[in-house]
Amino acid sequence: MNCIIVDDEATARLIVNQLCTSIPDLDVIDEFSSAIDAIKFLNQQTVDVVFLDIHMPGFTGFDFVQTLKNPPKIVLTTSDTNFAIAAYEYEAIVDYLVKPITQERFEKSIQKVKNSLTQQPKITSNKPNSLVGDELYINIDRRLIKLKFDEILLIEAKGDYIDVKTEKELHRVHNTLKKIKEKLPEELFLQIHRSYIINFTKIIDIEDNSVLIDKNVVPISRSNRPELMRRLNLL
């Protein structure tokens, strides 16, 4: 079994490397201080498990997993326990190690990885699994905020950010419409403009070139209008 270590702190990488060395059949094939470099490596090499610090410059561990089309097994390492529940909502993430990591806890984690690798083969998902059900986690300032899908009115692109609007709040997230669209259920959400995704169950009124959702007038592009009409069973 092989692995890589991804952590921006050299001391943390050294500690994980030493723990890996204590496992006879575990080989560390590379280490990375940059999440981007690690992703490039994983796109070219087959790796069994990644020991990944959840807080990387410009990236969270969840961003990292979602970037990979077919991620290997992921073991998150962190000093922060706040993300533990969210971590298990990703099929690729098999364990969550809180620093400082003890030898005993590390060995248990390795066993989890081995058990996961020997299970019946299936395509590993980089999306939250079905345990999430009707909700979405958004990452804001290293905090995960949970939103119910039926609370979301619309999502608007704002440059390098998106605005997720609910009836009561607006959340600005460093993400793209394309990425968040992949996480939304098609039976509720539809992109009706290059800058907008709407929850079409929240539509109050429809005009020729726009829809009204709550107090928000949202434009409809000509190319997206037929699909909206189809979803609403209109001709």
Contacts of 53 (CB under 8 A, 6+ apart): 6, 7, 8, 9, 12, 61, 76, 77, 78
Domain ranges of the chain: 2-118, 133-231
Q: Which has more pLDDT, 30 or 35?
A: 30
Rounded to whole angstroms, how far apart are CA atoms 123 and 94?
A: 14
pLDDT in tens, 120-164: 454 444 544 433 457 777 877 767 788 889 999 999 999 989 999
Name the H helices within the chain: 10-21, 35-42, 61-67, 84-87, 103-118, 177-181, 225-231
pLDDT digits (tens, 9 = 90+) for 74-109: 999 988 777 666 666 778 899 999 999 999 999 999
pLDDT of 174 strictly over 70: yes
Find out if CATH 3.40.50.2300 is the number for domain 2-118: yes
pLDDT value of residue 233: 55
CATH topology classification for 133-231: OB fold (Dihydrolipoamide Acetyltransferase, E2P) (2.40.50)
